[in-house]
Every structure is written in C-alpha cells, then in structure tokens.
Amino acid sequence: MYDAIVVGARCAGSPVAMLLARRGHRVLLVDKVTQPSDTVSTHYIQQYGLRKLKEWDLLDTLAGTGVTPMRRMTISYRDSLIEGFADPLDGIDVTYAPRRTVLDPILLEAADAAGAEVRQGHAVRELIVEDGRVAGVQGADGTRDRASVVIGADGSGSLVARQAGAEIYRSLPAESFVYYSYWSGLDIHFHSRIGVDQQVGAWPTGDGGTLIAIMKPLSRWDEFRSDVEGNFLQVVKDVVPDIAEQIAGGGERTEPFHGIRYPDNYYRRSHGPGWALVGDAGYHKDPITGQGISDAFVHAELLADRLHEGLAGERPMAEALADYERERDERTLSAFKFAATIGALKLPPELEAVFNALGREPEYARDFFNLIAGAITGERFFAPENVARMIGAAK
Ligand SMILES: Cc1cc2nc3c(=O)[nH]c(=O)nc-3n(C[C@H](O)[C@H](O)[C@H](O)COP(=O)(O)OP(=O)(O)OC[C@H]3O[C@@H](n4cnc5c(N)ncnc54)[C@H](O)[C@@H]3O)c2cc1C
C-alpha cells in the first residue's frame, strides 16, 4: 500500500513524486515509456520554471548538460518588435530549452533519488475503484497497486482523468497547428514572431542544435501538409527572413519534422475521492506562450504541498485538494486566456494596441518580458488601468 501512486513521469509527475518522497511519503511513480524518451514539445522553460528547478537543487544539473543559455529575446507581432530580456528572477538571468530527452531523465532521477519507487515501461490500464473512491491502479501486465491517492500526471489524453470522470469545466477552442524540427549550423537567439496568420518560434536547444517551429491556423492544415518542407521554409522566409537566409547558407536539418494539431485549451476537474490531476492532465493551454513545463513544475509543488497536508492528517484531503485546484485556476486564468487569444495568430484590436505600445515604450516592453518570465502576473499586466496607460502612450 502506497501513500501515492503517480501515473506519468515527466514535468508534472516526477516532481510530485520527488516532493512527496522528500517529505517521507511512500510513493510509486510509473510511466509507460522508459527515459530517455522524446515527446512532442518545443521545451522552452521560463525563468519561473527554472526557479523551481533551482529550489529543488536541479538547476545546476540541467545547466551542466550542454544546454544553451539564452539572455536575449526578439518578440514581434506584425510590424511591432521588441528586443530584450526580463530582469533576473531570484538570481536567474537566463532561460534554457533542453531537449526532453535531457530534462525528463533529470526529473525522474530526482524522484528516484528522493526515495520514490520508479517503474518505467509500465502502462496503467485501469483505475481500481472501491466504494466510490479510487483505490489504486491496474497495469497492462495485470499488476495491481493500491494507494491512498492516485495522481494523474499522464498528459492531455489522461487515462486517470477519463476513468475518474473528470469533466472539463472551462474550454476555449484551439486555433492553430505547429510543425517543428531541429537544425545544426545556425546561430540564433530566441525569436517568437507573429506575421500575418503565421508564427515562427526559434531558439537554441543544446550541443549546437536549434529548434525552429512554425504555427498556422488549423484551417490551413491540409494545404500545409501537401508539401511540409516547402511550406515550412516559406513561412520562415515570410516571417523571419534572416533565419531563412541562415538555413539557405548552410543550416542542416538533423531530424524529421514533427507536426501536431493542438487540442483545445481546457481546465479539467482535478480532484475527487482518492484521485488528483496535475500538469496537462488537468490544465492545458496553447503552447505559444511556452508555459506548460513551468506551470507543471509550479502546480506539482502546489499539489504536493496540499497532498502532504491531507496525508499527514493536518486537514481533510478533500478540502486540501479543493484548495489546490482553486489556487491553480486563480493563478493561471489570465495566462490561459492570453495563450488562447494569441494562439489565434490574429490579435483583437486592444491587444494589438498593447503590442504597438511595447514597441514604442521600453518600460512596457520590460514589463512584458517580466510577465513572460513569471515576475509580473497577467492580472497586473492586463489590468484595465495598465492597458489604458499603455495604449494611451502608444497614441
Ligand atoms: C507542440 C508543443 C510544443 C510545446 N512547447 C512548449 C514549450 O516550448 N514550453 C513549455 O513550457 N511547454 C510546451 N508545451 C507544453 C508541454 O510540453 C506540456 O505542458 C508538458 O509536457 C506537460 O507535462 P506533463 O508531465 O503534464 O505531461 P506529458 O509531458 O504529456 O507526460 C505525460 C506522461 O504520462 C505517461 N502516460 C500517459 N498515459 C499513461 C498510462 N496509461 N500509463 C503510464 N504512463 C502514462 C506518458 O508516457 C508521458 O510520459 C508544448 C506542447 C506541445 C504539444
């Protein structure tokens, strides 16, 4: 009998398992894959995500892997462009985009080192439900394991969510799709640029590699796929011509293209008797703002804190988990809406006016970089009086 079984061992699951194990709880962490294992992600980590790795004593390990430090960003919407970087956040003056084959094993090994029992290559097939509460999991190999609480950290297609009956209570439609791959021989700092109905994101990963991603509206999916390479390079040329020139001048693509239609943006009910959800299993938004990994870290810690209160008998588990979900939602709602809005690749007039203001006023641009870094909340940045101030300055 475990205190907790965590299903899914990546950005959300491994930290929950690590933090619970560090507090002395008996934890089983399972994943159907075995690390190192890649997954669909462009893997950019914001400063507020790196702050969690620092607090958990994992940042130096990550920095020592050959991952490329980034200290400069170019962000634009159509003709409005800003360059710069956020202020240091708790001493962190850098961002990284480690490959998931680098990041996820570090997280898994940290859970293992903290004392969690780790089972890789172990798919969960169903939840064990007794007297209306989740009591454990059954593996595809028939193994049955029991726990006080089962945590679904099993991504957007979460089996735990489905079988626990976790309903979606807030959603916004996905508007775009992404294609990306990796190149060698390029010298590129962070770019996120939205042109007319298309976006290019590009940043260094590590060991000389550069990721380039393009996004387009879902309605262009079939047309795009008729010639992925040609259309991809055309988008890069239209939106960031200097990157297209570097590719033409000797950049070499080192992997096949990865393409995905985004699922809708959603919040799912994330707790119930004997179960909880964390990471993409409970909350997913358009990846354009690059916050999924950092949010998974923050919410893993939030959940582990509340679970500890319940497991230690400090307060009723149901009450603690309700607080977890409420806090998560309160802290993320504005970022959720922002991601869904810019994911449409066409800004509403007021937001376009804000972007224009960023291009003209360095103070606002710095606030925006700090917003992305996690130092300023969306509630503060997008407060009506702040928006009015910025738009006024742009006129
Ligand atoms: C195209 C794309 C680009 C993105 N780019 C970024 C970015 O630049 N920056 C960023 O911060 N975020 C980005 N994201 C989002 C980010 O990847 C996710 O938010 C993050 O991976 C969520 O982590 P997770 O641990 O919740 O789930 P996942 O990473 O999805 O991991 C879930 C794990 O659960 C396991 N699992 C599932 N079912 C079972 C089962 N039945 N039994 C056992 N194991 C199971 C899976 O094998 C998997 O390892 C992007 C997402 C996409 C799709």
Atom 3 (ligand 1): residue with closest C-alpha?
41
**Residue indicated by tokens 């928006």:** 387
Across the range 336-341, mean pLDDT stands at 94
C-alpha distances in angstroms, 371 versus 64, 92, 253? 27, 15, 33
Across the range 359-365, mean pLDDT stands at 92
Which atom, in ligand 1's list, is nearest to the CA of 280?
26
User: How far does the centroid of ligand 1 lie from the alpha carbon of residue 10, in Å?
Assistant: 7
Is residue 4 scored above 70 in pLDDT? yes
Across the range 300-319, mean pLDDT stands at 98
User: How do 2-7 and 168-172 pair as beta strands?
Assistant: unpaired
Q: For residue 192, name the pLDDT band (cuts at 50, 70, 90).
A: very high
Atom 38 (ligand 1): residue with closest C-alpha?
154
Q: How far apart are CA 291 and CA 342, in angstroms?
A: 13
Indicate if 176-261 has the same CATH topology as 2-43+99-172+263-341: no
Q: Which of 52, 293, 297 to mutate to test the pocket of ligand 1 (most atoms within 8 A of CB)?
A: 293
Q: How far apart are CA 325 and CA 329, in angstroms?
A: 6
**CA 282, chain centre distance (Å):** 12
User: How far does the centroid of ligand 1 lie from the alpha carbon of residue 373, in Å?
Assistant: 20
**Which structure tokens are listed for 52?**
């969690």
Which atom, in ligand 1's list, is nearest to the CA of 49?
11
Across the range 188-205, mean pLDDT stands at 95
Tens digit of pLDDT for each residue in 9-48? 999 999 999 999 999 999 999 999 999 999 999 999 999 9
Q: Which CATH superfamily is domain 2-43+99-172+263-341 in?
A: FAD/NAD(P)-binding domain (3.50.50.60)
Which atom, in ligand 1's list, is nearest to the CA of 284?
19
User: How far does the centroid of ligand 1 lie from the alpha carbon of residue 40, in Å?
Assistant: 7
User: What whole-number percentage of the chain has pLDDT above 90?
Assistant: 95
Tens digit of pLDDT for each residue in 215-242? 999 999 999 999 999 999 999 999 999 9
Tens digit of pLDDT for each residue in 255-305? 999 999 998 999 999 999 999 999 999 999 999 999 999 999 999 999 999
Q: Which has the closest alpha carbon to 350: 83, 86, 77?
A: 77
Is residue 393 scored above 80 in pLDDT? no
Tens digit of pLDDT for each residue in 131-173? 999 999 999 999 999 999 999 999 999 999 999 999 999 999 9
Domain 176-261 has CATH 3.40.50.720: no
**Residues with a CB atom less than 6 Å from ligand 1:** 7-8, 10-13, 30-33, 39-44, 123-124, 153-155, 159, 178, 260, 279-281, 287, 290-294, 296
Q: Which has the closest alpha carbon to 216: 192, 240, 232?
A: 232
Which atom, in ligand 1's list, is nearest to the CA of 178?
1
Of the two residues 394 and 26, the one the predictor is more confident about is: 26
Atom 9 (ligand 1): residue with closest C-alpha?
290
Across the range 334-361, mean pLDDT stands at 92
In sequence order, which residues have a C-beta less than 8 Å from that of residue 274 and are 6 or more positions away? 133, 134, 135, 148, 149, 150
CB 184 within 8 A of CB 208: yes
CB 254 within 8 A of CB 182: yes
Which atom, in ligand 1's list, is nearest to the CA of 39?
29
Is residue 394 scored above 60 in pLDDT? no
Tens digit of pLDDT for each residue in 74-127? 999 988 899 999 999 999 999 999 999 999 999 999 999 999 999 999 999 999
- The pLDDT, as a whole number, for residue 79 is 87
- The pLDDT, as a whole number, for residue 44 is 98
- The pLDDT, as a whole number, for residue 63 is 98
User: How far does the centroid of ligand 1 lie from the alpha carbon of residue 293, in Å?
Assistant: 8
CB 78 within 8 A of CB 103: no
Atom 16 (ligand 1): residue with closest C-alpha?
292
**Which structure tokens are listed for 338?**
């922002």
Q: Which has the closest alpha carbon to 14: 38, 26, 30, 25?
A: 30
Which atom, in ligand 1's list, is nearest to the CA of 13?
25
Q: How far apart are CA 236 and CA 179, in angstroms?
A: 11
Q: Could you give the strand order of the β-sheet that contains 168-172, starting from the edge strand earlier in sequence? A: 168-172, 265-268, 283-284
- DSSP-derived secondary structure letter, 179: E
Is residue 180 scored above 90 in pLDDT? yes
User: How far does the centroid of ligand 1 lie from the alpha carbon of residue 129, in Å?
Assistant: 26
User: How far does the centroid of ligand 1 lie from the alpha carbon of residue 245, in Å?
Assistant: 32
Domain positions in the chain? 2-43+99-172+263-341, 176-261, 348-394
Q: What is the three-class DSSP state of 80?
A: strand
Beta-bridge partner residues of 28: 5, 117
CB 284 within 8 A of CB 292: yes
Atom 2 (ligand 1): residue with closest C-alpha?
41
Q: Which of 7, 10, 216, 262 to mutate to test the pocket of ligand 1 (most atoms within 8 A of CB)?
A: 10
- The pLDDT, as a whole number, for residue 392 is 86
Averaged confidence pLDDT in the chain:
96
Helix, strand, coil percent values for the chain (each to nearest 5): 40, 25, 30
C-alpha distances in angstroms, 135 versus 28, 154, 358? 14, 17, 52
Phi-psi region of 37 (alpha: psi -120 to 50; beta: other; left: phi over 0): beta
User: How far does the centroid of ligand 1 lie from the alpha carbon of residue 241, in Å?
Assistant: 31
Q: For residue 316, name the pLDDT band (cuts at 50, 70, 90).
A: very high
